[in-house]
Structure 1
Amino acid sequence: MLLSDRILSANDAVLNRMLKHRFVADIQVGGLDKEVFHRYLAYEGQFVETAISIFAFATIKAPDITARRWLIGVQDALANTQVPYFEEIFARRGIVVADSMPLAVTAFDAGMLDIARAGSFLDVLTAMFAAEWMYWTWCRNTNSAQITDLDLRAWVDMHTATGFADQALWLKQAIDTYGAETDGDRLCAIFDQVTQLEIDFHTAAYRDTAQIEGS
């Protein structure tokens, strides 16, 4: 069994919990509250900037120029495509992000950065694999849903587009390519940790009512 498939198999239960999260389910039935979507966008927009740092750590730790080239391209897309996307949608929808964030959101950012700083190249890849494989999977499962909010529709479409699919598949393949001598149990644990953080991150959009204006 490929290492990436072993990681996915070991984490099937926790991944399914995320794939069945209320946030996903609400989108699939066309019932995601606008306020929840706005809060979620605020949290996710902040994480995009964190992700640039995470991939910078991965670039430094990459074992060869092939991986570095790919990862530099990821950072470029985050900085020059994703960040402007959030700037535009925040301005258009009147979303004003508060200075403080819920604990689950800051814990996600901090947890991911801790892995990037202290972990190996494969640790960082696995952390982002957990996040991006989850997004690619639930958005593919949701692609046929009747979504009337055009921005939410675009968000789902973005995560099923070729560019995002290529990134999720690259992470999976890179784990197999560079992970032949790696402790698979450690990577399975990282995937579990990140998915748990993702569950709490998405739940925070329902719990919090005071962190963002413009809802």
Structure 2
Amino acid sequence: MTFEQLCARNTEARFTDWLREQAEPNWTRMTTHRFARELGAGTLDDAVAGRYLVQDYAFVETFVSLLGSAITTAPVMPSKRAFAQFAAAITSDENDFFLRSFEALGIPESVWKDPALHPVTAEFLEVLRAAIRSGSYPQVLSVLVAAEWSYLTWAKACPAERPTQFWLSEWIELHAIPPFEAFVNWLREETDRVGEGAGAGTQAMMAENFKRMMALEEAFFDAAYSE
């Protein structure tokens, strides 16, 4: 079903809700994944957590570059400011979290600085780089909203009582705190605005990006359990 067809049936439909529907069943499988459940319960094995964090940290530099592309292509200053503030959080609080976690988990600097990339990580990075190369604000938005909205969703579903291991509890908190939720809510509104005003071809491209991102997000959680 196209977004236009959905709107004909439901005048209250949001573009981002349509994107999510196009990404099923990967959206539901990712946001309710075993990894997220064990993370929230504090039962996630340290080796699994370590593999996940090392691979996830491999994204940071490229992800910040993607935010830079969002700043460049955003049409108005308030949107540029929202992305710049989020980039500041990624390069400060979140980066510090990774470094402390690697130390606590006994992961050598040689491992986290130059990791052997899992095939899923490599494919993920290519999606981010393709969005950067595109110079397309709609393409950048479709990648960002998939990543950040899905993380907010699983984090908000975690139990209120946090795990004792800080590398689990703080990872949840980073994706459940009010400033992050406010950014994701704004990001959805921005994607709604851009997507609803786009042509059918751009809407289809955004839906395809969102769907691919959710398939990769699910596979990325799966990969943490592989040696």
Normalized against structure 1, the TM-score is what?
Answer: 0.88
Is the Cα contact below 8 Å between 1:49 and 1:83 reproduced in 2? no
Q: Which runs of 4+ in 1 moved over 6 A?
A: none
Aligned partner of 2:64: which letter? I
- Displacement of 1:40 after TM fit? 0.8
- Displacement of 1:63 after TM fit? 1.0
Could you tell me which residue of structure 2 aligns to residue 37 of structure 1?
49
Q: What is the count of residue pairs matched by the alignment?
A: 208
Give the root-mean-square deviation of aligned CA atoms: 1.8
Could you tell me which of 212, 218, 221 is aligned with 1:199? 218
Is the Cα contact below 8 Å between 2:41 and 2:159 reproduced in 1? no
Cα distance in structure 2, aligned partners of 1:86 and 1:176 = 32
Is 1:124 aligned with 2:143?
no
Query: What's the secondary structure of 2:17's corresponding residue?
Result: helix
Gaps of 5+ in 1: 209-215
Could you tell me which residue of structure 2 aligns to residue 85 of structure 1?
97
Is the Cα contact below 8 Å between 1:143 and 1:156 reproduced in 2? no
Cα distance in structure 1, aligned partners of 2:91 and 2:37 = 30
Could you tell me which residue of structure 2 aligns to residue 212 of structure 1?
none
- Displacement of 1:37 after TM fit? 0.4
Q: Deviations over 1:148-192 (max 9, x none)?
A: 323201211221101111121111011122333313222111110
Could you tell me which residue of structure 1 aligns to residue 86 of structure 2?
74
Is 1:5 aligned with 2:17?
yes
Identity %: 27
Gaps of 5+ in 2: 1-12
Is 1:156 aligned with 2:172?
yes
Q: Which deviates more from structure 2 when the two are superposed, residues 43-52 or residues 174-183?
A: 174-183
Cα distance in structure 1, aligned partners of 2:71 and 2:100 = 28
Normalized against structure 2, the TM-score is what?
Answer: 0.84
Aligned partner of 2:226: which letter? R
Aligned partner of 1:58: which letter? A
Cα distance in structure 1, aligned partners of 2:165 and 2:101 = 13
Could you tell me which residue of structure 1 aligns to residue 4 of structure 2?
none
Query: What's the secondary structure of 1:197's corresponding residue?
Result: helix
Query: What's the secondary structure of 1:142's corresponding residue?
Result: coil
Could you tell me which residue of structure 2 aligns to residue 25 of structure 1?
37
Query: What's the secondary structure of 2:225's corresponding residue?
Result: helix
- Displacement of 1:124 after TM fit? 0.7
